[in-house]
Structure 1
Amino acid sequence: MAGLAIEGVTHDWGAKRALDAVSFTVEPGRFCALLGPNGAGKSTLFGILTRLFSPRAGRVTVAGFDLARAPRAALSRMGVVFQASTLDLDLTVRRNLLYFAALHGFSGREAEMRAAAALDRLGMAERAGERAAALNGGHRRRMEIARALLHRPDVLLLDEPTVGLDAASRAAITAHVHRLAIEDGLTVLWATHLVDEVRPDDRLVVLHRGRVLADGEAGAIGGADLTRRFLAMTGAAP
C-alpha cells in the first residue's frame, strides 16, 4: 500500500490552472523529492494535502485513508513542516514541543517521552533547554521536524524546508530526513527547487506549470547531470 497516493489532482486559481491532473504515489520508506521551479505548483499541492483547500478534481489517500472522506484519520497520519516557520521563539525547544504534544492530546510523562525521543532523533537533545530564539536557522528547522514527528506519523511533508539556510545546514537537514525515511519507514515528500538536495536513488517527481514532467528514480531521470536535465525540462534559470 502506498503511503501517499495522489490521483488526478486538479486545481485552479481563478482562470489560472495551478495543478493539472497531477498523479503520483510514494511508498513507505521512500524519500520523494517534488522538484520544480518557483511557481510550479508545489505549494498549491501542499495546501491540498494539508486540507487548507480542496481540489477541483482528484483524490488523495494518506496511509490508506481518503483525505476527502476521512480527513481526520488522514491528517492524523501526517507530519508537516511548512515553508514559513511556526515556532514560538520565546519558549524553549522543549516547551515548544510539549505545547504541540498537548494539541495532539498528549500530556504528562507521555508528552515528555515523545518530545525527548523526537529531539534525540534529530540530534537536538542537548538544546532542549535553549530558547528557540537563540537557535540558528538550521537548528530551528530540525526542531520543527522533531515537532512534526511527535505523534509518530506515517507520512512526513516538508515544503521547501531549507529555504534561507546555508549549504552545510541544508545538507545536514536533508541527510537527517533521508535517514528518517530509511530507518523509520516514513513516507517523505520533500518539496524543493534545489537540485543538489536530490540523491540519485531518490524517488523524483518533476513538477512544472502544474504538470508532472517526470516521475521515477532521480538517477534514471537525470542521468549523469540532473541539473542540466532539470533545466532542459523546465527552462528554469540556472
Structure 2
Amino acid sequence: MTDDSAALAISGVSHDFGSVRALDDVSLTVPRGGFTALLGVNGAGKTTLFSLITRLYNNRSGTIRVGGFDLRRQPSEALARLGVVFQSRAMDADLTIRQNLEYHASLHGIARRAAKLRIAQVLEDVDLADRAEARVSALSGGQSRRAEIARALIHSPELLLLDEATVGLDVKSRAEVLALTRRLIAGHGVSALWATHIMDEIEPVDDLVILHRGRVLRAGRAAEIAGGAGLTQSFLDMTGLAA
C-alpha cells in the first residue's frame, strides 16, 4: 500500500476504441470522505472511465489507485474497496431484495451469519428495511436505485462509483437518491464519485471535475468553476456547447 491519502487517484489515463480516443490523459482525485461530481454530456467518457476503474477495461496507460492500491498491480485489494452503481440495473428482478443481497454477499466471501447482519444494516441505511422480501420487479424506480446502492455497500467499500444513478427517475426519487448518497458520506465516511449530466445535482461546495470529449477541462470546487456566470453557463462556455 502507498501513502496515497485519496480514496481514488487517477493520473494520466487514456483509452482508445480503435482509432477513436475515448479518454485523453485524464487525471482526477476523489478525497476520502468526499463527494466529487463528474460532469459531462453523454459521450464525454464518463462510463468509459468507470469501466477502467472497475477493470471492465484494462488501463494500459497512466495509473489508477483505489484507497492507495494500484489497480493493475494490486487489483484484488483495490476492487475490494470499491462499490459500484452502474447505469444499467445489476440486480435480478425476479428475486427479492434480500435474495439479491445474499447472493452478492456470497460473491464477496461474507459468511452467512455476518451477511445476515450486514444486509440488515445496509437495508436500514437505504431506508428499505421494510421491503426486504419484495421482489426487485415490484419496486419503484427510486426504491430500485436505493436497493442497488445497498448492493454496492454490502462489502463495506471505501469508495462508491455512481454512474448516472438518477437516470430515468422522477424529481422526487432523484432527490432522494442524491440525498442518500450525501448522507452515507456524512454518516459513514464513504467517498463517492458521482457521474452526471444534470447541473442541479451539484452543490457549490462539491468537488467538481468537468469531462468533455474524453478530456478533463476543469477540476476544483464547483462554486469556483461556476464563477459569476453560474455553472450551466460556465459549462457551456468551456465546452463550446453554447455556440
Give the TM-score category using the shorter length. over 0.9
Whole-Å Cα distance in 2 between the matches of residues 97 and 84 of structure 1? 17
Percent identity, aligned pairs only? 56
Note closer, same or farther for the CA distance 1:236–1:167 as it changes in structure 2 (3 Å cut). farther
1:233 aligned to 2:221? Answer: no
Which whole-Å CA distance do the structure 2 matches of 1:47 and 1:108 have between them? 30
Show CA shifts across 1:10-32 (max 9, x none).
11111111111101111111000
Q: Could you tell me how far 1:180 is from its partner in structure 2? A: 1.2
Task: Tell me which residue corresponds to 1:31.
Answer: 35
What is the aligned partner in structure 1 of residue 58 from structure 2?
A: 54
In structure 1, what is the Cα distance between the partners aligned to 2:134 and 2:168?
Answer: 22
Q: Mind listing any 5+ residue stretches in structure 2 that lack a counterpart? A: none
Report the secondary structure of 2:109's partner residue.
coil
What is the aligned-residue RMSD (CA, Å)?
Answer: 1.3
Letter in 1 for 2:41: P
1:163-174 paired onto structure 2 within 5 Å: 163-174=167-178
Paired position in structure 2 for 1:220:
224
Q: Aligned with 1:106: secondary structure? A: coil
- 2:197 equivalent to 1:193: yes
Residue 158 of structure 1 is aligned with which of 159, 162, 168?
162
- The 2-side partners of 1:130 and 1:184 are apart by 26
Indicate if the aligned counterparts of 1:37 and 1:236 stay in contact, CA closer than 8 A: no
Q: Tell me, in whole angstroms, the C-alpha distance in 2 between the residues paired with 1:28 and 1:185.
A: 8
2:90 partner letter:
T
Alpha-carbon distance in 2 for matches of 1:114, 1:215: 36
Residues 1:105 and 2:109 aligned together: yes
User: How many angstroms does 1:56 deviate by?
Assistant: 3.3
- Please state if 1:91 is matched with 2:95: yes
Match of 2:26 among 19, 22, 27: 22
| 1:145 and 2:141 correspond | no
Is 1:5 matched up with 2:9? yes
Taking a change above 3 Å as real, the CA distance of residues 181 and 236 of structure 1, as seen in their structure-2 partners, is farther
Gaps in structure 1 of 5+ consecutive residues: none
TM-score by length of 1: 0.97
Q: 2 CA distance for matches of 1:47 and 1:213?
A: 20
Partner Cα separation in structure 2 for residue 91 and residue 49 of structure 1: 28
Deviation digits for residues 79-129 of structure 1 (CA, Å, limit 9, x no counterpart): 011100011111111111111111111132211111110010011111111
**2:127 pairs with one of 123, 127, 146:** 123
> Which position in structure 1 is the counterpart of 2:44?
40
Q: Secondary structure at the match of 2:209?
A: strand
Cα distance in 2 for partners of 1:17, 1:200 equals 31
- Measured in 2, the distance between the counterparts of 1:233 and 1:194 equals 16
Size of the aligned set, in residue pairs, is: 238
